[in-house]
Amino acid sequence: MTFAELHIDRVRRAFGDTVALRDLDLTIKGGEFVALLGPSGCGKSTALNCLAGLLPLTGGQILMDGKRIDTLPPERRGFGMVFQNYALFPHMSVRRNVAFGLSMRKVARADRERRVDEALRLVQLTDHAKKFPAQLSGGQQQRVAIARAIVLEPALVLMDEPLSNLDASLRIEMRTEIRRLHQSLGLTTVYVTHDQEEALALADRLVVLRDGLVQQIGSPEEVYAHPANRYVAGFMGYRNLLSVRVSSSDDGSATVTGEGFTLAGVNRDGLSEGEAVAAFRPTDVTVAAEEGDNTVRASVEVVEYHGREQAVEARLPSGEALHVRTESRLAPGDDVLFRVPRERVLVFAP
Amino acid sequence: MTATIEKPVVTQDKPSLKHRLAERGVDRTLLLVLPGLLFVILLFVYPVLYGLQLSFQPKEGGGLLANYTKFFSDPYLFDTIWITLRLAVPAALINVLASIPIAYRMRGRVRGKRLLTTLFVLPITLGTVLTAEGLIRYLDPTGWFNKVLALFGADEPARLVHNYTGVLLSLIISGFPFAFLLTLSYLSGIDPTLEQAAATLGADWRKRFRHITLPLLAPGLAITFCLTFVLAFSVFPSAYLVGLPQGETRVMSIAAYESAFRDFDFPLGSAIAMLMALVMLVVIGLVLVWRSTLYRGSTGGKG
């Protein structure tokens, strides 16, 4: 079972007086991998639970190829879901866990066995079929959860922060595994995460949420290189978000001043005056030889060793922190002149 | 410049005695166990052993086992086993079965949960005598219940007290709170996302209950059954007050009481008490054997 288009139409979910999700509009095409990205409390898990049918909507509707599905209970939507804590049935073997959905749908035994074998092979757990969830490592449990969800070949796979309980190296391994599965099976997937790296690595399209509101929808390249606002920028690695005032501007660029520095940058919000935020990535900052365009003076406070690079936190005269990643060797206490290329500085409305 | 590496002076081959004892769990905190242990020995172990040896010294002679032979050959005594089981097993089963749906609905966050739980648990505080009195007033042939039945045209009042039904009702009233509290805590220990996962896999609520909740709850239900069964099996006051103590609710505890304190045959009373314990142990043993065939591991919740 598959679909051409899943239309999420002004979906809204409130808990009492707090609105967790405001008027989410999103169209998902068959085969697409969509990531819902945002910090905790942004409404991404709420959106996923609404899609799964585990939470009723407060408003709006969900249409699959024009048919309303938001009124169906979860067991009749035919979506597979991978939970953050995996939610494996502890009293069933791996094999029975994976077969559960097929038994519920009364798939004939021979067909069921074949599909379970296939799913276990896909997640490389054939040798562990007889074990119980408690006998497996975190990564293996994760793979059982994925096998259990995909064995039904669901129209839509929903993943709720599936990697957040794994340690760092396993997380990257499983991320590749999920991407590989998506490429080989082509199952439409909605993936919830707070990790922008994970979202960028996996998704065809990103939906960045904040306080229940969509901030930006776009491809990983678009969101990474052209964040829509200062909030998305902050989430996409623009760690430096300095409070500044616009001193002059023309069509595409703006000159802004802060305490003791002046920066020229890209005028993203068409500002002509007033308060603004200058956003740039730590990796775009270099150590300058002499005063010039787009230079900033700051004193180094903390230096972290990252192999070839150092992560430096320096203090600006205004008291704001300046985050820098540089190959230059700096030491705490150094008074350093930094430069940011003007095309790398994005000026946003505050 | 010469550097000499001095060997550390070895004063002892082994760690100190205190350290070795602590490794085996023997340290001063062990003293905390002492008061409780003393209590158990003085007030439980000693009386039980005393009763046990007493039961082997029949009042009228006839050998060690005379009291036990008497019990098994006298139907008036022997039948009390079935009378008691006939009350205790249904009462325990009803309590467990009734607490499942209520606890199922009440787990997690429910509006008015505290009020409802208080209401359900209140009977614990009432005591059997008050409950019995209430039952008699309410269910007596001249009580409200029968008055209401008469309004609806019942010819004869329903006989609900001073018989088997009265005692069963009393046992349910006093045993249900325990069953409910235990079941609720076992149910709260089951991770709710398991049922959500089952739902996304196509299981409706019946299948979710049958395949997920019930198997994970069953070991807890077994324990709950055992506890309410033990409570019901040693029924005494309500068997007297709302039952028919010389007839269909002559339970084992009444037989033991009468032997000991009416006929002043303490050895026979002790023998009956020992047999009571034995019957309970057999039933609990059977339930625990069944339980051992179930999945008893983690249920994923934070219960």
CATH code (residue B169): 1.10.3720.10
Residue in the block written with tokens 């008893």: B296
Report yes or no: A316 and A274 within 8 Å, Cβ to Cβ.
no
Nearest Cα residue to A147 out of A186, A99, A85: A99
The terminus-to-terminus CA distance of chain B in angstroms comes to: 66
Residues A52, A70: Cα–Cα separation, whole Å: 9
Minimum CA–CA partner of A74 in chain B: B200
Residues of B in contact with A99 (CB under 8 A): none
Looking at the predicted structure, is the pLDDT value of residue B302 above 50? no
pLDDT, residue A316, reads 93
pLDDT, residue A34, reads 97
Nearest chain B CA: its distance from A207 CA (Å): 23
Label residue B303 by pLDDT band (50, 70, 90).
very low
Measured between CB atoms, which of B202, B211, B298 is closest to A75? Answer: B202
Tokens found for residue B75 = 């139907």
Task: Please give the share of chain B, as a percent, with pLDDT higher than 90.
Answer: 61
| Helices and strands: H and E segment counts in chain B | 16, 0
Looking at the predicted structure, is the pLDDT value of residue B207 above 50? yes
Is the CB of A138 inside 8 Å of chain B's CB atoms?
A: no
Name which of A31-40, B109-118, B182-191 the model is least confident about: B109-118
Query: Is the Cβ pair A91, B197 closer than 8 Å?
Result: no
Query: Is the Cβ pair A79, B194 closer than 8 Å?
Result: no
pLDDT, residue B7, reads 60
Q: Which CATH number fits domain A239-348: 2.60.40.10, 3.40.50.10860, 2.40.50.140, 2.30.30.30?
A: 2.40.50.140
**Chosen from A91, A103, A153 to mutate, greatest number of chain B CBs within 10 A:** A91
- Range of the structural domain that residue B269 is part of: 47-56+63-292
Q: How far is CA B106 from the centre of its chain?
A: 22
Query: Is the Cβ pair B199, A54 closer than 8 Å?
Result: yes
Residues in Cβ contact with B26 at an 8 Å cutoff, skipping those fewer than 6 apart: none
The model's pTM is 0.83
Label residue B141 by pLDDT band (50, 70, 90).
confident
Nearest chain B CA: its distance from A151 CA (Å): 10
Looking at the predicted structure, is the pLDDT value of residue B82 above 90? yes
Residues A282, A338: Cα–Cα separation, whole Å: 11
Tokens found for residue B4 = 């000499």
A141 vs A86, A123, A165, B212, B275, CA distance in Å?
7, 11, 11, 18, 50
Average pLDDT (B171-181) is: 92
Residues of A in contact with B202 (CB under 8 A): 75-76, 78, 101, 104-105, 152
Strands A261-267 and A346-348: parallel
Residues of A in contact with B299 (CB under 8 A): 90
Is the CB of A54 inside 8 Å of chain B's CB atoms?
A: yes
- When divided into structural domains, chain B yields a total of 1
Measured between CB atoms, which of B196, B202, B215 is closest to A105? Answer: B202
Name the burial class of residue A346, with classes exposed (0-12), middle (13-18) and buried (19+) by CB atoms within 10 angstroms of its CB: buried
Looking at the predicted structure, is the pLDDT value of residue B227 above 50? yes
Report yes or no: A12 and A56 within 8 Å, Cβ to Cβ.
no
List chain A domain ranges: 5-230, 239-348
Torsion of CA A238, A242, A247, A248, to 10 degrees: 0
Residue-averaged pLDDT of chain B = 89
Tokens found for residue A27 = 């169209």
Q: Which residues pair with B30 in a beta bridge?
A: none
Between chain A and chain B, the number of residue pairs with CB atoms below 8 A apart is: 77
Low pLDDT (below 70) residues in chain A: 1
Measured between CB atoms, which of A74, A105, A134 is closest to B199? Answer: A74
Is the CB of A136 inside 8 Å of chain B's CB atoms?
A: no
Is B3 domain-assigned?
A: no
Report yes or no: A152 and A78 within 8 Å, Cβ to Cβ.
yes
Task: Give me the interface pTM, i.e. the ipTM.
Answer: 0.85
Average pLDDT (B92-104) is: 95
Measured between CB atoms, which of B200, B203, B298 is closest to A80? Answer: B200
Average pLDDT (B13-41) is: 86
Q: In what order do the strands lie in the sheet with A67-68?
A: A18-29, A5-15, A59-64, A67-68
Query: Is the Cβ pair A104, B300 closer than 8 Å?
Result: no
Q: How far is CA B179 from the centre of its chain?
A: 9
Residue in the block written with tokens 């409780």: B36
Measured between CB atoms, which of A78, A90, A148 is closest to B299? Answer: A90
CATH number of A5-230: 3.40.50.300
Average pLDDT (B206-224) is: 95
Is the CB of A5 inside 8 Å of chain B's CB atoms?
A: no
SS3 for A183?
helix
Report yes or no: A52 and A84 within 8 Å, Cβ to Cβ.
no
CA atoms within 13 A on the CB side of B43: 6
Residues of B in contact with A132 (CB under 8 A): 297
pLDDT, residue B9, reads 59
Query: Is the Cβ pair B198, A100 closer than 8 Å?
Result: yes
Is B41 domain-assigned?
A: no
Strands A321-326 and A309-315: antiparallel
Tokens found for residue B170 = 């009393």
pLDDT, residue B3, reads 55
Tokens found for residue A167 = 């340690």
| Residue B194: Cβ within 10 Å count | 24
Each residue's pLDDT tens digit, B242-282: 999 888 999 999 999 999 999 999 999 999 999 999 999 99
